[in-house]
């Protein structure tokens, strides 16, 4: 959110840069010279808060693609096979299991519901996957499955906000904002943190899922969408052609430059560069979004169809974005809240996503990008082994759920952690959301306890006072 900033407090790197700029260049700098200067890496590094930066230690991942499965997918149908649960189907859960348990919708003392799909082992690693995930099965040796995820929240908005910002209370920066704050972006003309949304609806937490919290606004996620205008107000308005736009921008620059000469306020120089970057984005973003340029076999691999917005298209776009140096791409696919219609909806959701997720891994790998790209798949919590409604639904469940990670320094082909026989509680290798965050930051080259931002008199961090790097996940 747009509250507070570093501008007047700690360090605004731009101010230092501006001082340098004025000392070195004088105020009466010509427009051309300014343009050249701005494009030179040295100056860009100093003027642009998104300029690439080095983290604490050598990073294993340089960029992140977070496939956020909003609504909370059922671990029991997809990853965490429980034969015991099948055996106890229709029976009430053991009393001690549900003692003190708070559920969102159901009476906790509801009957157990056996898994609805078949599972099989795949790959050299022999990881167990549901029949709903045939494509993921093909890349299962490239991913690490974590069956021991734990969170604190069991309602969607707080759960999503926790998974994305490390806190159930609104107002904290998102993981993508922290990553971009820490590392900047390698893209010259695209935002450093880009968000897509597909599925039935938008995520429950709304924009705060990709907000910058108390970090400067440049670090917040920018929502893209399919089509020729991925960014709001990207296109020239009706009646403004390229020539008129260029003429207009030249005149704006001339007048801004004259004002800079007169007033000496470096903020004007920043404004000039903002307009130039906007112009560049107008050219580069439509090209980026034009997936019709991809070869047929690539489109087929993802199941992407140009012109028809989908999760698959977004996966392909995510690859195109990280290729262009964007630091953090997050895909929200809100479809997984199966209080009912568990069988039908899960089938559909997997049809919509499985192929594209696997294609993304394959594609990144083929291009040599997977090594330095961290891919994360998962939702905000899991689902109850107890039934909701008749026999085809599950309620929210925070005590155990599954996520998977790949690339970017993740040990491939492993399955980490275990839940109990009902998939209710984690019994080994517990990974809390904060631990996941610590691990993401570690892979990006940060000590999560040291990537901090001073706000309201204290140093805030993504993991607050929690978080331990999950060493077992590291390659």
Of residues 315 through 354, those in contact with another protein by CB under 8 A are 332, 334, 339
Q: Give whichever of 249 and 474 is closer to another protein, judged by the CB atom.
A: 249
| Positions 165 through 184 that interact with another protein (CB under 8 A) | 169-171, 184
| Positions 432 through 451 that interact with another protein (CB under 8 A) | 449-450
Q: Positive or negative CA dihedral for 141, 143, 144, 150?
A: negative
The DSSP letter of residue 456 is: T
Stretch that binds another protein, among 6-14, 130-138, 297-305, 356-364 (CB under 8 A): 6-14
Q: How far is CA 1 from the centre of its chain?
A: 17
- Cβ of residue 163: shortest distance to another protein, in angstroms? 14
Q: Give whichever of 165 and 415 is closer to another protein, judged by the CB atom.
A: 165
Contact 151, 401 (CB under 8 A): yes
| Positions 109 through 148 that interact with another protein (CB under 8 A) | none
Q: Is 391 in the site for another protein (CB under 8 A)?
A: no
Per-position x/- string for 357-386, each x denoting binding to another protein as judged by CB under 8 A, each - no binding: ------------------------------
- Cβ of residue 105: shortest distance to another protein, in angstroms? 5
The span from the CA of 261 to the CA of 277, in Å, is 21
Q: Give whichever of 24 and 36 is closer to another protein, judged by the CB atom.
A: 24
Q: Is 264 in the site for another protein (CB under 8 A)?
A: yes
The span from the CA of 330 to the CA of 121, in Å, is 29
- Cβ of residue 394: shortest distance to another protein, in angstroms? 12
Beta strands per DSSP E along 5-55: none
Angle, to 10 degrees, between the axis of helix 266-289 and the axis of helix 31-39? 60
Beta bridge partners of 63: 373
For another protein, the binding residue among 2, 36, 300, 348 (CB under 8 A) is 2
Cα atoms in the Cβ-side hemisphere of radius 13 Å centred on 388? 18
Q: Give whichever of 303 and 407 is closer to another protein, judged by the CB atom.
A: 303
| Positions 214 through 243 that interact with another protein (CB under 8 A) | 216-218, 222-223, 225, 231-241, 243
Stretch that binds another protein, among 96-104, 119-127, 140-148, 366-374 (CB under 8 A): 96-104
Beta bridge partners of 329: 65, 194
- Cβ of residue 122: shortest distance to another protein, in angstroms? 31
Q: Give whichever of 345 and 395 is closer to another protein, judged by the CB atom.
A: 395
- Cβ of residue 361: shortest distance to another protein, in angstroms? 23
- Cβ of residue 367: shortest distance to another protein, in angstroms? 26
Q: Is 188 in the site for another protein (CB under 8 A)?
A: no
Radius of gyration of the chain (CA): 24
Q: Give whichever of 53 and 418 is closer to another protein, judged by the CB atom.
A: 53
The span from the CA of 463 to the CA of 471, in Å, is 16
| Positions 8 through 47 that interact with another protein (CB under 8 A) | 8-13, 15-19, 22-23, 26-27, 45-46
Q: Give whichever of 99 and 456 is closer to another protein, judged by the CB atom.
A: 456
Report the alpha-carbon angle 466-472-474, nearest 5: 95
The span from the CA of 381 to the CA of 313, in Å, is 25
Number of amino acids touching another protein (CB under 8 A): 112
**Pairing state of beta strands 431-432 and 426-428?**
unpaired
The span from the CA of 83 to the CA of 114, in Å, is 8
| Exposure string for 430-469, b = 16+ CB within 10 A, e = fewer | bbbbbbbbbbbbbbbbbebeebebebeeeebbbbeeebeb
Q: Positive or negative CA dihedral for 180, 183, 187, 189?
A: positive
For another protein, the binding residue among 40, 102, 118, 296 (CB under 8 A) is 102
């Amino acid at each position: 959110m747009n509250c507070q900033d570093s501008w007047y407090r700690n360090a605004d790197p731009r101010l230092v840069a501006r001082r340098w700029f004025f000392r070195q260049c004088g105020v009466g700098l010509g427009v051309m010279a300014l343009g050249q200067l701005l494009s030179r890496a040295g100056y860009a590094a100093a003027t642009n808060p998104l300029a690439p930066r080095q983290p604490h230690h050598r990073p294993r991942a340089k960029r992140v693609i977070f496939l956020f499965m909003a609504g909370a997918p059922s671990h029991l149908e997809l990853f965490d096979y429980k034969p015991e649960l099948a055996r106890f189907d229709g029976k009430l859960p053991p009393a001690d299991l549900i003692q003190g348990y708070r559920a969102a919708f159901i009476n906790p003392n509801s009957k157990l519901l056996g898994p609805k799909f078949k599972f099989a082992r795949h790959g050299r690693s022999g990881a167990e996957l549901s029949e709903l995930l045939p494509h993921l099965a093909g890349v299962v040796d490239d991913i690490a499955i974590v069956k021991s995820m734990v969170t604190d929240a069991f309602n969607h908005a707080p759960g999503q906000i926790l998974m994305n910002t490390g806190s159930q209370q609104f107002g904290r920066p998102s993981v993508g904002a922290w990553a971009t704050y820490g590392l900047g972006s390698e893209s010259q003309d695209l935002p450093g943190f880009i968000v897509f949304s597909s599925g039935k609806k938008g995520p429950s937490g709304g924009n705060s899922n990709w907000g910058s919290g108390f970090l400067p606004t440049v670090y917040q996620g920018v929502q893209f969408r399919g089509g020729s205008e991925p960014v709001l107000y990207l296109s020239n308005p009706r009646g403004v052609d390229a020539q008129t736009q260029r003429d207009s921008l030249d005149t704006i620059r001339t007048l801004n430059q004259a004002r800079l000469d007169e007033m000496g306020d470096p903020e004007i120089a920043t404004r000039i560069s903002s307009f130039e970057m906007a112009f560049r984005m107008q050219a580069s973003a439509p090209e980026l979004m034009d997936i019709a340029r991809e070869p047929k076999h690539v489109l087929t691999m993802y199941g992407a169809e140009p012109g028809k917005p989908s999760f698959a298209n977004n996966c392909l776009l995510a690859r195109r974005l990280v290729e262009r140096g964007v630091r953090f791409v997050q895909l929200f696919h809100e479809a997984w809240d199966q209080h009912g219609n568990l069988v039908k909806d899960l089938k559909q959701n997997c049809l919509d996503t499985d192929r594209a997720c696997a294609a993304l891994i394959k594609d990144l790998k083929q291009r040599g990008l997977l090594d330095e790209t961290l891919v994360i798949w998962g939702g905000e919590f899991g689902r109850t082994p107890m039934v909701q409604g008749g026999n085809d639904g599950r309620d929210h469940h925070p005590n155990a759920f599954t996520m998977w990670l790949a690339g970017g320094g993740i040990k491939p082909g492993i399955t980490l952690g275990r839940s109990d026989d009902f998939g209710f509680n984690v019994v080994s290798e517990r990974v809390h959301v904060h631990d996941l965050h610590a691990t993401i930051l570690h892979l990006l080259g940060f000590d999560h306890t040291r990537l901090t931002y001073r706000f309201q008199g204290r140093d805030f961090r993504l993991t607050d006072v929690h978080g331990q790097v999950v060493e077992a996940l590291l390659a």
